[in-house]
Amino acid sequence: DTAVSQTPKYLVTQMGNDKSIKCEQNLGHDTMYWYKQDSKKFLKIMFSYNNKELIINETVPNRFSPKSPDKAHLNLHINSLELGDSAVYFCASSHPGQGHPGDTQYFGPGTRLTVL
């Protein structure tokens, strides 16, 4: 009954490879997000989708491409992986405007990507 799930939990790969991370939420939320937590521990927004429409794209290299087949899924595909892509990637979902301003987001467990 996991609310926001991600696969895989760990991903080790070589530079130059292409990889995907999958995210699914069963909360019925309209909006999904990808965050990156780098070695400095900052959680930074990468993308957000609202009902399959791209809302936020935070100056992320175009090697990163989110794909939302439906509002319960937001996958992250990364082409030509580089050493600097090593980080923990978190998926999140929310249903903005639920009786208050602002947005409470619910996070998945994270995917630790290591690029060798």
The span from the CA of 81 to the CA of 65, in Å, is: 12
45 touches other proteins by CB under 8 A? yes
User: Of 8, 104, 114, 116, which one interacts with other proteins (CB under 8 A)?
Assistant: 104
Site of tokens 């927004």: 45
CB nearer other proteins, residue 66 or residue 108? 108
Residue span binding other proteins (CB under 8 A) among the ranges 14-22, 49-57, 65-73, 74-82: 49-57
Minimum CB separation of residue 22 from other proteins in Å reads: 15
What's the distance, CA 2 to chain centroid?
A: 16
106 touches other proteins by CB under 8 A? yes
User: How many residues in the shown chain lie near other proteins by CB under 8 A?
Assistant: 28
User: Of 1, 14, 39, 40, which one interacts with other proteins (CB under 8 A)?
Assistant: 40
The span from the CA of 95 to the CA of 93, in Å, is: 7
64, exposed or middle or buried, with CB in 10 Å at 0-12, 13-18, 19+?
A: middle
SS3 content of the chain, % helix, strand, coil (to 5): 5, 55, 45
The site for other proteins (CB under 8 A) is made up of 4, 31, 40-45, 48, 50, 55-56, 90, 92, 94, 96-97, 100-110
